[in-house]
A and B are shown apart, each in its own frame.
Chain A
């Protein structure tokens, strides 16, 4: 399996966890569920923010939560189609 595929899969997994948790999760449990080292998790999280796939929201106690953006939902919806496209065309 290529490194690129892994990257797309990890992003999918992180977004899926957020969606499964009612589209709101604190960073620490997300790190735990994602099975990544804290350094890799930080790198991915940075990438997700820069690509506008997730955003931060704050609850009444001013605690930080992560939530999917529209683009994040779109990524989840189209992930399988895109992966099969990459496979089909050997990209």
Chain B
């Protein structure tokens, strides 16, 4: 479908959402990356990687699953008709698993005694296996299940930490998980009700904005 030919509201909403959410996520990444450069705190480093991969996931989703589909009218009978869509999907699975695993590692890196290179290799292997499983089984719930497990583990690890108080931003982990999960379901299941999808988009933007605001917030000296 070419732009302007039967172009509907859905397309514009997808474009606006993709641009804003990618911008928010990359802002979080660059801001936390600057914090890491200053302190070399490993927790901040892995946290920033989470948003780097979230950002790439959204970017690829936008480029291959929305942009190419609408702007390049590939005839349906051609074999590679669905290639951009599929490729975008695989990159999305890989990067979202990477993001989830880096978030998990950011809360438990102190307990893991393995070398950083080993951990990064392990994270990549898990992400690649998940992508291959997704390609092979072709059931979106494989991806959803693995992401649920990773985020569930992150929440449990965070809960078992001996923090003196439970910080309100602990809620952020649960929120990131829920929003990401809902996003996944809405992407993986194409017939997901559009009105509900828009609701998820709005919630995603609010959540990322709250995290962004927290990162930009300055304490009173």
Q: Which residues of chain A have a CB within 8 Å of any CB of chain B? A: 2, 4, 8, 51, 71, 74-75, 78, 80-82, 84-91
5 smallest CB-CB distances across A and B, nearest first, come from: A91-B43, A88-B169, A80-B219, A88-B167, A82-B35
* Contact-size category for B: 20 to 34
Are A4 and B107 closer than 8 Å at their CB atoms?
Answer: no
What is B's interface to A at a CB cutoff of 8 Å? 35, 38-44, 46-47, 106-107, 110, 158, 161, 163, 167-170, 172, 214-215, 217-219, 221
* Bound complex: CA A89 to CA B158 (Å): 9
The residues of B that contact A84 with a CB separation of less than 8 Å are: 219
Q: State whether A4 and B41 are in contact (beta carbons under 8 Å apart), knowing that A89-B169, A91-B106 are contacts in the complex.
A: yes
> In whole angstroms, what is the CA distance A51 to B44 when docked?
17
Contact A4 B167 (CB under 8 A): no
Complex: chain B residue closest to A72, CB-CB: B38
A-B CB contact pairs (8 Å), 26 listed: A4-B42, A4-B43, A4-B110, A8-B39, A51-B40, A71-B38, A74-B38, A75-B39, A81-B217, A81-B218, A82-B35, A82-B38, A84-B219, A85-B44, A85-B214, A85-B215, A86-B41, A86-B43, A87-B167, A89-B47, A89-B167, A90-B163, A90-B167, A90-B169, A91-B47, A91-B106
Given A88-B214, A90-B163, the answer on whether A8 and B168 have CB atoms closer than 8 Å is no
Q: Which residues of A contact B106 (CB under 8 A)?
A: 89, 91
B219 (CB) vs chain A CBs: closest residue: A80
Cβ-defined contact, A90 with B218, below 8 A:
no
Q: Given A51-B40, A90-B158, 13 other A-B contacts at CB below 8 A? A: A2-B110, A4-B41, A4-B43, A8-B41, A80-B221, A81-B217, A85-B214, A86-B41, A86-B43, A88-B168, A89-B106, A90-B163, A91-B43
The answer on a CB contact under 8 Å between B172 and A89 is: yes
Contact B170 A90 (CB under 8 A): yes
